[in-house]
Structure 1
Amino acid sequence: MPLKSKQPRIAPLEPPFDAGTAEVLDRLGPPIALFRVWARRPELARGVSDWGRYYFSRQSALTVRQRELVIDRTTALCGAHYEWGVHVATFAEKAGLQDEQIRSLAVGSPADECWDAGDRAILGAVDELHATYDLTDGTWADLVEAAGDDGALDLLLVCGWYHAISFTVRALRLPPEPGTPRPDSP
């Protein structure tokens, strides 16, 4: 799904940053364009930061690999090239993703040969949530087998969160960060 406009609809803040903006950006992470847009609204940015710290900390029941499968597949399905590229560039190696798996996340299927049963269960749940906003009993059982009850709950929340992120980066028309891949050319 190509974006119609090449210019961001809300310009990310540019340095030099005032003290309040710098504090918010420190909480969010590297000053990528999305974070610099959120920093325009410090309370929003702090809320996003606090939510992210919880779900992406050691408290998450998902492994780094499972979390990245959810995020990369969700953002690819949503056509959120900006976010997909940021995550693949930052986390693919940490998650142990191979080139064939990265391509599959972008344009393939959970049935692709590069996935084991646990990865297929995670990806199948993401695809089904994206398509139907629900999970069948069989998909739920496979997901719980792969990630446990707590991991299944975290998957639902992370998948939903990254739909929101995908809506945001697409509607804002954020261009890819320098050096990040696109789902159509990993």
Structure 2
Amino acid sequence: MPLKSKQPRIAPLEPPFDAGTEDVLERLGPPIQLFRVWARRPELARGIAGWGGYYFSRRSALSVRQRELVIDRTTALCGADYEWGVHIAAFAGKAGLDAAQIRSLATGRPADACWDAADRAVLTAVDELRATADLSDGSWADLVAAVGEDGALDVLLVCGWYHAISFTVRALRLPLEPGTVRPDSP
């Protein structure tokens, strides 16, 4: 359920930035609107940068593809158009997602023909977590078979983290970044 276009509830910081803000933004990544809102609270932003740095590093047990399946599906299910658009623009190619898979992430189902068994296990876990805040024994076993125990833990944490991100970008009413699209776009 996309949000009607509204002004952001908390304005992102605009340049020129002071040295402290520059430091925080350097840790977070490109100065997209969400990061510029978080930078209003430097202590919060530093903590977020540390946590996010782990999941976007090689230390995660998930591949880029698996991580993006979790993030893209979670943000689509949560109606977080802003975050969906950022991730599709920045990571869909790196994750090897084709047009059919992107459409399925936005509006399809884990059982869609475009997914292999491992991808399906990850997507089923995300859908089940969203619906029940839990995983059945069968879904857990399939997920562990697909990504291992460490990967399964990462799926749980990334899915939960992107629920929080989804709540944030929706409630802040952040408009899409330039060059990004909504999940319901062709």
Alignment RMSD (CA, Å): 0.8
Between the two proteins, what is the percent identity of the paired residues? Answer: 82
1:129-140 matches, cutoff 5 A: 129-140=129-140
Report the equivalent of 1:125.
125
Q: Shift in Å at residue 181 of structure 1?
A: 1.4
Report the equivalent of 1:104.
104
Partners of 1:165 and 1:63 lie apart in 2 by 20
Report the equivalent of 1:10.
10
The TM-score normalised by the length of structure 2 is: 0.98
Deviations 1:116-142 (A, max 9, x none): 000000000000000000000000000
Deviations 1:42-90 (A, max 9, x none): 0000000000111221110000000000000000000000000000000
Report the equivalent of 1:27.
27
1:79-98 matches, cutoff 5 A: 79-98=79-98
The TM-score normalised by the length of structure 1 is: 0.98
Does residue 43 (structure 1) correspond to residue 43 (structure 2)? The answer is yes
SS of the equivalent of 1:109 reads coil
Partners of 2:88 and 2:56 lie apart in 1 by 16
| Structure 2, unpaired ranges of 5+ | none
Partners of 1:119 and 1:168 lie apart in 2 by 27
Partners of 1:99 and 1:43 lie apart in 2 by 39
Partners of 1:3 and 1:114 lie apart in 2 by 29
Partners of 2:104 and 2:5 lie apart in 1 by 27
**Matching residue's letter, 2:149:** D
**Matching residue's letter, 2:137:** D
SS of the equivalent of 1:158 reads helix
**Matching residue's letter, 1:64:** V
Partners of 1:154 and 1:56 lie apart in 2 by 11
**Matching residue's letter, 1:77:** L
Report the equivalent of 2:172.
172
Tell me how many residue pairs correspond in the alignment.
186
Is this contact kept in 1: 2:5–2:175, CA < 8 A? no
**Matching residue's letter, 1:168:** T
| Structure 1, unpaired ranges of 5+ | none
Partners of 1:21 and 1:33 lie apart in 2 by 13
Q: Shift in Å at residue 95 of structure 1?
A: 0.2
SS of the equivalent of 1:30 reads coil
Report the equivalent of 1:146.
146
Partners of 2:2 and 2:97 lie apart in 1 by 26
Is this contact kept in 1: 2:82–2:177, CA < 8 A? yes
